[in-house]
Structure 1
Amino acid sequence: MNHPENRRSRRLRRFKPLAAAAALVLALAACGAPASAPPGQQGSGEAQDGAAGGDKIVIGVGGQTLLTYMPTTLAQELGYYEDEGLNVELQDLQGGSKALTAMLGGSTDVTSGYYEHTIQMQAKNQPIKAFVDMGLSSGLALVVAPDQEGSIKSIADLKGKNVGVTSPGSSTDMFVKYLLAENGMKKEDASVSAIGAGSSAVAAVENGQVDAAVMLEPDVTVLAKRLGKDPVIIQDVRTLDGLKAVFGTEAWPSSSLYAKTDWLEQNPEDAKKLASAIKRTLEYIQTHSGKEIAAEMPEKYAGGDVDQYAAVIEELKATLSKDGAFTEEGAEAVLKTQRIANPEVGDKEIDLSTTYTNEFVQ
């Protein structure tokens, strides 16, 4: 199979005559990565260039600059959705709960969000099913704001503090509640504030708008660069070792593609094609370097430091799924954390077999 065209070369096909295309190539070649602020929060907001005919599929992403959702964007940049004959639009909704709400409201078809949302919705009798797994770890880190480093040294010190999360009800919020409960505290002992992802999250922590925050990559690394030192981190599941220490498991399915169960029943071929595109992307990630992957991603996501971005991607690769398939053990681990962190799940009867499927990635 030939290497897929990258984002730039696909877009160049639009320009005629050839002289104009050549001029644009030269202009692009002369430009390096922009000297910009930390990664922004705007998604691509456009359908796949040159996509085949058919109805557009809108995927809402729970924070498109976050590397936990990188496969969703990378599949578009590599042209894999187009290869499958799909017309895909990605919408950056800057938080998992916002992306879920958009799908439930009908403004998106599919969500690139955390698998745990399917469990939450079953508890509310709203059938949602995940059909391709991208992450083996939640990739979260509980970071202390610089002006609170002397007073917050453990989970117990979060009492009475304000913790930043991407959005209330999101996976970052659930992580705070889980940690509080596991340390014998009430979920209300710490308040949470929405700080989004990307530049807004980095600024909120750097400027002391929150006392601590649950962050993901590349935001943690960008924050360290802006501070000139590594931030204090009191819980970290960005690695598989950290995941096992916090959740007691080696697999905790996180970023995934999920949709309403009736959408999957009505659009099985589209679901299969989406799963195929993501599975190919996961294989691409495992066989290419962080530098090669960074080169395929939108330049603005690197926040002006492509080498740093590439290094973070290289570290992230170990926590991504290799084949897009869910495991029963991983699903059980997520359910366990939801029972502890989320009173809306609690001890309700949950049939995990209806919250995910591997039929489309096989």
Structure 2
Amino acid sequence: MEALGEFETVETPLKPLLLLFTRCANPERDCHNGFRAKEIAPMNLRFYSVLTIALLGSLTWSSRAVQAKSYIAYISDSSNSSVVYWIAKEAGIFKKHGLDLDTIFIDGSVRGIQSLIAGDLGYSGAVGTAVINANLAGGDVAIIQSQMNTLPYFIIGNAGIKSPEELRGKTAAVHIPGTSADFAMRLALSKVGIPYKDIKAVTLGGAPQRLVATVNGQTDFTIVSEGEKLQGLKGGLKVIIDMAKLKVPFQFNCSVATRKKIRENPDEVRRVVWALAEAGHFFKTRKDESIKVMQKYTRGLDRGVLEGAYAANYEFLVEDTYPTLEGLKQTLDVQALTDPRAAKAKPEDFVDLRFVDEMKKSGFVDKLYGRK
């Protein structure tokens, strides 16, 4: 699914016209009705006038159907980043909790949060750095639950790089600023005494794109999680820095909502939090079914690669879904070096823990895992 706000619930002859008004996450990609954003732009004003009249005529009966569907964005198609969202949908867990919630892919938590603030989404996956940056810039969003509270990343590169110190001056495939991959790259380089300015950074986006560029020799190294690491090793790359071993507290995969959503619909937010906790339990207790879901969303990755990704996810997945305040504090400390606003902020400013607190008090997670 590429279109934001797609009118999936409106089943009428006007649906193709309605879809022309949806916005593609990437304007160069096809929307689901077959039009491209760049193909729509030249259409003349007369056509739009007719279309507007048709839409207004249908608005009164269609509005409820349009609003019935809500979206939760997953912000990475990596096998290590979004599996809880995929399972919540594919295993029917969202529906079990009374949620008419569909998943949509938006590349990167920065873009995901932008779409959330714009009202295109109900919820978004994210990482702590993006949540902090959004709030410091005036965006009123909060972390409502977490899936991973550390940085499960590896810097991998071509076989000619003999030591981490040799990364200096090399070309790196990186993600956009504000993402966890960007933060992890900067942190890893700082650990070996290399300023970020001393590498040649090429922004390529998600892990699959970064991996392909590095395997093909377009870049010398990149940063990836377990699944892409295994693919890279098969492609002749080597591990240069293993950040997973460091177990650095960091707010990695988490779910975000606007505070407006939390105020106006706390019951729905509560059900989302509980559903995602149950999806995590499904993942940990139903391996084969979970790997099949991973295969679907990673376009049929090799079973061996997914086995490794499953093991890494299993190790790092947070059962009680509490965000890491320690990880958020460390991120704030780093950002405070260049942003005075971060120095005044507290980790608690970026979370709303009421729903995970309620879930803990209810004993729901303990019952899932047979501890009660």
TM-score after normalising by structure 1: 0.73
How far apart in 2 are the matches of 1:177 and 1:54? 41
| Corresponding residue number in structure 2 for 1:306 | 303
**Pairwise CA RMSD of aligned residues?**
2.7
| Corresponding residue number in structure 2 for 1:269 | 267
Whether 1:232 aligns to 2:238 is yes
Q: Which amino acid aligns with 1:134?
A: Q
| Corresponding residue number in structure 1 for 2:215 | 206
Query: How much has 1:354 moved relative to structure 2?
Result: 1.9
How many residue pairs get aligned? The number is 295
How far apart in 1 are the matches of 2:306 and 2:89? 19
Query: How much has 1:265 moved relative to structure 2?
Result: 1.8
Query: How much has 1:152 moved relative to structure 2?
Result: 5.7
- Paired residues for 1:167-178 under 5 Å: 167-178=176-187
| Corresponding residue number in structure 2 for 1:326 | 323
| Corresponding residue number in structure 2 for 1:28 | none
In structure 1, the gaps of 5 or more residues are 1-41, 46-51
Q: Which amino acid aligns with 1:263?
A: K
How far apart in 2 are the matches of 1:346 and 1:190? 28
| Corresponding residue number in structure 2 for 1:37 | none
Structure with more contact order per residue of length (Cα contacts < 8 Å, sep ≥ 6): 1
User: Which among 114, 118, 129 is matched to residue 116 of structure 1?
Assistant: 129
SS at match of 2:226: coil
Conserved? CA contact 1:66–1:197, under 8 Å: no
**Change in CA separation of 1:174 and 1:78 when aligned onto 2, cut-off 3 Å:** same
Conserved? CA contact 1:103–1:109, under 8 Å: yes
Query: How much has 1:349 moved relative to structure 2?
Result: 0.8
In structure 2, the gaps of 5 or more residues are 1-28, 33-64, 360-372
| Corresponding residue number in structure 2 for 1:216 | 225
Larger Rg belongs to: 2
Of all paired residues, the percent bearing the same amino acid is 18
**Change in CA separation of 1:150 and 1:103 when aligned onto 2, cut-off 3 Å:** same
**Change in CA separation of 1:128 and 1:317 when aligned onto 2, cut-off 3 Å:** same
SS at match of 2:102: strand
Q: Which amino acid aligns with 1:320?
A: L
SS at match of 1:63: coil
Q: Which amino acid aligns with 1:190?
A: I
Conserved? CA contact 1:302–1:309, under 8 Å: no
| Corresponding residue number in structure 1 for 2:353 | 358
Structure with higher helix content? 2
**Change in CA separation of 1:184 and 1:198 when aligned onto 2, cut-off 3 Å:** closer
How far apart in 2 are the matches of 1:311 and 1:151? 24
Post-superposition Cα deviations, 1:52-76, rounded to whole Å, max 9, x if no partner, equal 9973222222113332221111111
Q: Which amino acid aligns with 2:228?
A: D
Conserved? CA contact 1:282–1:323, under 8 Å: no
How far apart in 1 are the matches of 2:240 and 2:340? 26
**Change in CA separation of 1:305 and 1:274 when aligned onto 2, cut-off 3 Å:** same
Post-superposition Cα deviations, 1:181-236, rounded to whole Å, max 9, x if no partner, equal 44444332223223233542321111112121111232221222233xxx322222
Conserved? CA contact 2:127–2:180, under 8 Å: yes
**Change in CA separation of 1:118 and 1:308 when aligned onto 2, cut-off 3 Å:** closer
Whether 1:83 aligns to 2:96 is yes
How far apart in 2 are the matches of 1:65 and 1:160? 27
How far apart in 2 are the matches of 1:314 and 1:292? 14
How far apart in 2 are the matches of 1:258 and 1:172? 18
How far apart in 2 are the matches of 1:80 and 1:141? 32
Conserved? CA contact 2:188–2:243, under 8 Å: no
How far apart in 2 are the matches of 1:225 and 1:185? 28
User: Which among 252, 255, 260 is matched to residue 254 of structure 1?
Assistant: 252
| Corresponding residue number in structure 1 for 2:201 | 192
TM-score after normalising by structure 2: 0.71
How far apart in 2 are the matches of 1:130 and 1:206? 35
SS at match of 1:193: strand
Whether 1:63 aligns to 2:76 is yes
Post-superposition Cα deviations, 1:273-306, rounded to whole Å, max 9, x if no partner, equal 11111011112223233x3420244535263422
Post-superposition Cα deviations, 1:4-40, rounded to whole Å, max 9, x if no partner, equal xxxxxxxxxxxxxxxxxxxxxxxxxxxxxxxxxxxxx
Whether 1:316 aligns to 2:313 is yes
**Change in CA separation of 1:313 and 1:151 when aligned onto 2, cut-off 3 Å:** closer
Conserved? CA contact 2:151–2:184, under 8 Å: no
SS at match of 1:218: helix
Structure 1 stretches of at least 4 aligned residues deviating more than 6 Å after TM superposition: none
Whether 1:136 aligns to 2:135 is no
Conserved? CA contact 1:172–1:214, under 8 Å: yes
SS at match of 1:208: coil
- Most deviating of 75-84 and 175-184: 175-184
Q: Which amino acid aligns with 2:222?
A: A
Q: Which amino acid aligns with 2:198?
A: D
Conserved? CA contact 1:54–1:87, under 8 Å: no
How far apart in 2 are the matches of 1:175 and 1:187? 11
Query: How much has 1:270 moved relative to structure 2?
Result: 1.6
How far apart in 2 are the matches of 1:317 and 1:296? 15
